[in-house]
Amino acid sequence: MSSNLKRSALLLSLFLVFVSCDKKEEAAQPNIIIVYMDDLGYGDVSYNGAQKLQTPNMDAMALAGMRFNKGYATSATCTPSRYGLLTGVYPWREKRAKILPGTAPLIIGTDQMTIPKMLKQKGYHTAIIGKWHLGLGAGNVNWNELVSPGPNQVGFDYSYILAATQDRVPTVYIENGMVVGLDPNDPIEVDYSKNFEGEPTGLENPELLTMKWHHGHNNSIVNGIPRIGFMKGGAAAKWSDIDMADHFLKGVKQYIRKQKNAPFFLYYPMQQPHVPRTPHPRFEGISELGPRGDAIVEADWCLGELKKTLEEEGILENTLIIFTSDNGPVLNDGYYDDADIKNGDHTPWGSFRGGKYSLFEAGTRVPFFTYWKGKIQAGVSDAMVCQLDLLSSLAELVGSDVRSEDGLPLMNLLMGKSKIGRDELIIEASTRTAFKKGDWVMIPPYKGPAKNQRVNIELGNDSGFQLYHLAEDIGQQKNLSVTHPEKLQELLTAFEVIRGQEYGKTERLELK
């Protein structure tokens, strides 16, 4: 063989080696799944000490992965937390990021960076299957045509969602912008200000109800359950509440089987245990805590089925799973379902104070673990991490240069390879904000009631500053603002640097 031929053969061999390496590297890109619970409290899982409630599938994955004792949502309510998770931007920077009606326009900009958009740039197929609640369209949506913009316009290749929450209209599934199963001869109409003539409501027709409303949920009736908002038409498209968990799980399994040969990102926001709590009959009475406890057990089963599907398809070892919740727990959140009566000595809030809607710790400190068989070793971390950090961290994982405005790249922490988390964090609850630095928490003065009487949860409002040292006072019982003025000033100064002067104009934070 001539020297030229030998040289050509060598170059070809090297080229093939490089191509092979590139393909192996590409194939090694892990699948990524975010499982997002709805109103699950830190103390609602047995791996965090729950005695009256058993969550064996959550436990198995958490105890085999990295558990974060200081894992936080950005907000104590759902829409803001979902905004922060997907964009890596503090929800208080977007004034529309508050609990949305089902008719609200999309609040994520179509030109805004999101987790799915970043991953698409790295060759991922992306999907959301579950609860959305970030708005749809640009206002005045016609539900009988393509609903856009929505998830598909902010990075998701495939979307199968409920528009807002299970207790809000429209009570239909939407696939890639189209209502599923809609009869064109029975068009959908939705209104959040007035009812449609002749349509029954929970307020006026209690005899039609299978679930009684406690507060706020007394508008249109679907499947015997009164909802928030008014809806007419779309009978063939309306969902079955008791089948919702199974319905979304079926979609998740189908998606995994279809996309198993290429890297995919699946955002799986479950509806449990948000109201109305409607576990499938096979889960009724399985817990001691009524429908709320049964819904959590049902969600735990769904997680087990998710893992089983990954195992069956041979991709469990190449799939990173991140599990967390959008905010803390609430018992009675609008319906009489015995959640508060049957709760007994179960503590959904763990050792913390507050819950959903609250600036106290239980509002945003939530279950949080990462699981990746063979890649993440079992461990527990006391480092602070927030859902806000997921975009930058996942970008770090897949080799993207994208970084979000407020999130930190903490992939080594999530993988259990580092003990360093974030030192500062602003948390939010219904437009009110508080500041965490290390083990210290500062809550500014806020007008308003100290407790939400309807849901029986302390909101964190007070006429003066509050300062707590969580390392010594996890239940936030000792306000140290008077005895530690230097520490209070330190946190206030750092808080205002991030929060900005715009905030100061509306809420003057001056020490007195």
φ, ψ at 88 (rounded to 5°): 70, 20
Question: Pairing relation of β-strands 189-191 and 221-222?
Answer: unpaired
The architecture in CATH of the region 29-178+255-414 reads 3-Layer(aba) Sandwich (3.40)
Q: What's the per-residue H, E or C state across 20-33?
A: HHHHHHHHCCCEEE
Q: Which two tokens stand for residue 253?
A: 């399994």
The CA–CA distances, whole Å, from 394 to 78, 115, 417 equal 22, 8, 15
Span(s) in the chain for CATH 3.30.1120.10? 425-506
Span(s) in the chain for CATH 3.40.720.10? 29-178+255-414
Give the pLDDT of residue 26.
41
Q: Which two tokens stand for residue 213?
A: 């409303």
Q: Tell me the C-alpha distance between 35 and 267, whole Å.
A: 6
Closest to 394 in 3D by CA, of 378, 375, 408, 377: 408
Q: Is 293 helix (H, G, I), strand (E, B) or coil?
A: helix
The CA–CA distances, whole Å, from 183 to 179, 235, 286, 379, 472 equal 10, 8, 37, 52, 60
- Of how many residues is the chain composed? 512
Give the pLDDT of residue 217.
98
Report the Cα 432 to chain-centroid distance in Å. 19
Which residues contact residue 434 at a Cβ distance below 8 angstroms, ignoring those fewer than 6 apart? 359, 426, 427, 428, 441, 442, 443, 444, 460
Strands (E), 377-419: 379-386
Contact 224, 211 (CB under 8 A): yes
Write down the pTM of the prediction. Answer: 0.93
The architecture in CATH of the region 425-506 reads 2-Layer Sandwich (3.30)
């992306």: which residue's tokens?
126
Give the pLDDT of residue 457.
98
Closest to 271 in 3D by CA, of 326, 222, 321: 326
Residues 95-139: tens digit of each pLDDT: 999 999 999 999 999 999 999 999 999 999 999 999 999 999 998
For residue 69, how many other CB atoms are within 10 A of its CB? 15
Closest to 231 in 3D by CA, of 153, 163, 331: 163
- Portion of the chain with pLDDT greater than 70, in percent: 92
Angle between helices 390-398 and 78-87 (to 10 degrees): 30
Strands (E), 203-361: 221-222, 225-226, 230-232, 264-269, 319-325
Give the pLDDT of residue 2.
55
For residue 487, how many other CB atoms are within 10 A of its CB? 16
* Residue ranges for the chain with pLDDT beneath 50: 14-27, 504-508, 510-512
Q: Tell me the C-alpha distance between 195 and 197, whole Å.
A: 6
DSSP state of 478: -
Q: What's the per-residue H, E or C state across 417-460?
A: CCCCCCCEEEEEECCEEEEEECCEEEECCCCCCCEECCCCEECC
Give the pLDDT of residue 139.
86
Q: Tell me the C-alpha distance between 79 and 277, whole Å.
A: 19
DSSP state of 481: T
Helices (H) and strands (E) in the chain, counts: 10, 20
Q: Which two tokens stand for residue 281?
A: 């009959």
